[in-house]
């Protein structure tokens, strides 16, 4: 069967050197970077190496490679306290960038809440600018992790804060 651990043929009798040799057992189609794992209670199998940047995860109880997925969800997100749930089954890294959309003096900023409650209230991020931006825009970014099935939301501190970008990575 493909990917199973097999004995290398050494003839009819093993020498001590062959018995202790590092090449005595090999996987079918073995390649550098492959990983051995128990595919059952009696079998050792091979997981072919993943791609650069992949992470190792469990799928139905056995190791599997997971490719990170980046999504620009800016158009489908709001910074008005709307709660979103991570239903991907994977942890998310979320990066949110907001800016003041007024050049007048004031308090600009946003808070990020994230936890297991449908209305999250655990603050995990905060950005605030207070003062006079002197006719220019001021921007701030908060990056945080959302566990599978957790909820997260962003609340702006005043009406003069606008969403610039909201990027999520499934890892």
- The pTM for the full model equals 0.69
Distances (CA, A) of 152 to 12, 79, 99, 140, 171: 64, 11, 20, 18, 17
What whole-number distance in Å separates Cα of residue 170 and Cα of residue 92?
A: 5
pLDDT per residue rounded down to tens, the chain (171 residues): 566 655 555 566 767 766 666 566 677 778 888 888 888 888 888 888 988 878 888 888 888 888 888 999 999 999 999 999 999 988 999 999 998 877 777 778 899 999 999 999 999 999 988 777 676 677 889 999 999 999 999 999 888 888 999 999 998
Q: What is the pLDDT of residues 76-96, one digit of tens each?
A: 999 999 999 999 988 999 999
CB environment 123-153: b (16+ within 10 A), e (fewer):
ebbebebeeebeeeeeebebeeebeeebbbb
What whole-number distance in Å separates Cα of residue 95 and Cα of residue 137?
A: 19
pLDDT of residue 120: 97
What whole-number distance in Å separates Cα of residue 161 and Cα of residue 98?
A: 7
Could you give all domains of the chain from N- to C-terminal order, each with its CATH number?
5-66 (no CATH), 69-170 (2.60.120.40)
Q: Up-side HSE of residue 13: CA atoms within 13 Å toward CB?
A: 1
Is residue 45 within 8 A of residue 5, CB to CB? The reply is yes
What whole-number distance in Å separates Cα of residue 21 and Cα of residue 63?
A: 27
CA dihedral 115, 119, 124, 129 (to 10 degrees): 170
Q: In the 3-class helix/strand/coil scheme, how is 132-166 assigned residue by residue?
A: CCCCCCCEEEEEEEECCCCEEEEEECCCCEEEEEE
């Amino acid at each position: 069967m493909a990917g199973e651990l097999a004995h290398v043929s050494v003839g009819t009798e093993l020498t001590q050197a062959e018995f202790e040799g590092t090449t005595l057992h090999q996987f079918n189609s073995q390649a550098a970077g492959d990983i051995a794992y128990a595919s059952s209670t009696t079998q050792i199998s091979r997981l072919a190496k993943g791609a650069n940047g992949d992470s190792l995860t469990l799928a139905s109880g056995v190791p599997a490679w997971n490719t990170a997925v980046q999504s620009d969800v800016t158009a489908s997100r709001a910074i008005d306290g709307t709660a979103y749930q991570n239903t991907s089954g994977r942890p998310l890294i979320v990066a949110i960038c907001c800016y003041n959309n007024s050049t007048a003096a004031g308090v600009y900023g946003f808070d990020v809440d994230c936890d297991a409650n449908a209305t999250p209230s655990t603050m995990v991020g905060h950005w605030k600018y207070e003062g006079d931006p002197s006719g220019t825009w001021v921007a701030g970014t908060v990056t945080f992790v959302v566990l599978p099935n957790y909820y997260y939301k962003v609340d702006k501190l005043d009406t003069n804060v606008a969403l610039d970008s909201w990027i999520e990575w499934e890892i």
